[in-house]
Amino acid sequence: MDTTSPASPPPSDARRSLTTEAVHAGREDLTALGVHAAPLDLSTTYPSPDSRGEAARLDAFAATGAQLSGPPVYARLDNPTTARFERALARLEGTESAVAFASGMAALSAVLLARGAAGLRHVVAVRPLYGCSDHLLESGLLGTEVSWAEPEEVAAALRPDTGLVLAETPANPTLVETDLDALAERCGDVPLLVDNTFATPVLQRPREHGAALVLHSATKYLGGHGDVLGGAVACDEEQARALRQIRFATGGVLHPLAGYLLLRGLSTLPVRMRAQSAGAAEIARRLAADPRVARVHYPRLGGAMVAFEVEGDPHAVIGAVRLITPAVSLGSVDTLIQHPGSISHRIVAAEDRRAAGISDRLLRMSVGLEDVEDLWRDLDAALAASAGSASGPERPAVPATVPAH
């Protein structure tokens, strides 16, 4: 059995580079366990022969939300495989702690519930956001109330009951960037949550720019292979305690196999990000020079996402790619393309979508590790199909009731 205490101290060598941390962080306990690869512990429960002792440990968790010391008790409380991923992500983001969840949306929900439980139900958010994050706030499903604001308007939008400011940069799907230092200053004492899914800690560490909470859809670059759903919040230990209590009570835990795959994914994150970003920058350069393309969005920060508006029919591009997979989601080793107006941001009302700069002609591409020449040949043929297509982009590809992914 993998009985590591999840509270093992992090290594003290602060000079290690992110590339080295990505390979080694979270694995500090393996030598003592006598193994080289991280073990996968699938237990849902653990032997507890000392009930009195367990009662005291559970009381301590209920009172503080601090991670249990000693062996695990039950898989909804903690799991050593997942804890390794959490320790590693905290190292990479430069935060004290990280708390993993079943998905990015479960992670965001836990933050909103934790703030709501503290009596702070009002959220100030900057558009655009990932479609379902927008929907979660706009719908008020979790009892929150949202004020949408431009980054410059955030200070004016704060109220005494504001519990959170939320922003994405580069944002999904337009890749618009926000100056985090300036935004954090406008938040005052209100914690700023930055969704760092697109940049990853390889390109941007929001904690160093004043963010209190860093959100990841780990489903994307952290996993990196399109085969694991997960989410995480990197933050200080005080916030992490509140999030662990919410996770225990609401049950949105990351499956240990997902924790195993995510730790494995982190070890190649820096090399994947660098290689995929180089491919994306070259694709963005070629698109910008292409007369069939009206506008290209590529962040100053870099990254492996490219968004572009076509002159012709965007649905024809989606229908014509052969090497590139026409699919929602992003961050995998293979290239994906999708039409945000039809899929990832379909659940956002059309007028809100357009006001946030999400044109009906916008396509969002997640560039993988393929050879750029092969990708360009495929995209070039798909753009030829769109330029030759008579139908405009107004026709919806899916019914309006299909929720975004």
Ligand X SMILES: *Cc1c(COP(=O)(O)O)cnc(C)c1O
Nearer to ligand X (CB atom), residue 220 or residue 346: 220
User: What residue is closest to ligand X based on CB?
Assistant: 104
Among 161, 240, 242, 172, smallest CA distance to 207 is for 240
Three-class secondary structure of residue 49 per DSSP:
coil
For residue 113, give the H/E element and its range: helix 104-117
Shortest distance, position 305 Cβ to ligand X, whole Å: 9
Nearer to ligand X (CB atom), residue 332 or residue 389: 332
260 is catalytic: no
Shortest distance, position 108 Cβ to ligand X, whole Å: 7
Shortest distance, position 172 Cβ to ligand X, whole Å: 4
Q: How is residue 147 written in tokens?
A: 């004020």
Q: How is residue 310 written in tokens?
A: 């076509």
Nearer to ligand X (CB atom), residue 27 or residue 205: 205
Q: Indicate the angle between helix axes 237-250 and 104-117, nearest 10 degrees.
A: 100
221 is catalytic: no
Exactly one of 2, 29, 134, 195 is catalytic; which is it?
Answer: 195
Is there a contact between 198 and 153 (Cβ–Cβ < 8 Å)? Answer: no
Give the integer Cα–Cα distance in Å for 402 and 342: 9
Three-class secondary structure of residue 234 per DSSP:
strand
Nearer to ligand X (CB atom), residue 129 or residue 320: 129
Q: How is residue 19 written in tokens?
A: 């590339």
Exactly one of 76, 264, 274, 286 is catalytic; which is it?
Answer: 76
Exactly one of 121, 205, 220, 244 is catalytic; which is it?
Answer: 220
Q: How is residue 185 written in tokens?
A: 């200053």
Among 249, 257, 3, 229, smallest CA distance to 101 is for 229
Give the integer Cα–Cα distance in Å for 260 and 40: 6
Shortest distance, position 102 Cβ to ligand X, whole Å: 8
Give the integer Cα–Cα distance in Å for 220 and 107: 14
Shortest distance, position 347 Cβ to ligand X, whole Å: 12
The residues binding ligand X (CB under 6 A) are: 103-105, 130, 132-133, 168, 172, 195, 197, 217, 219-220, 229, 231
Exactly one of 84, 115, 121, 130 is catalytic; which is it?
Answer: 130
195 is catalytic: yes
Nearer to ligand X (CB atom), residue 121 or residue 220: 220
The answer for 210, left when phi > 0, alpha when psi is -120 to 50, beta otherwise, is left
Is there a contact between 290 and 383 (Cβ–Cβ < 8 Å)? Answer: yes
130 is catalytic: yes
Shortest distance, position 392 Cβ to ligand X, whole Å: 27
Shortest distance, position 219 Cβ to ligand X, whole Å: 4
* Helix residue ranges, H only, 158-288: 180-187, 200-203, 237-250, 256-288
Nearer to ligand X (CB atom), residue 340 or residue 393: 340
Task: Determine how many CB atoms are found less than 10 A away from the CB of residue 12.
Answer: 6
Sequence letter at residue 274: R
Shortest distance, position 229 Cβ to ligand X, whole Å: 6
DSSP string, 337-402: EE-TTTTTTTTS-HHHHHHTT--TTEEEEE--SS-HHHHHHHHHHHHHHHHH--S-TTS-SS-TTS
Nearer to ligand X (CB atom), residue 197 or residue 359: 197
Nearer to ligand X (CB atom), residue 26 or residue 173: 173
Catalytic residues: 76, 130, 195, 220
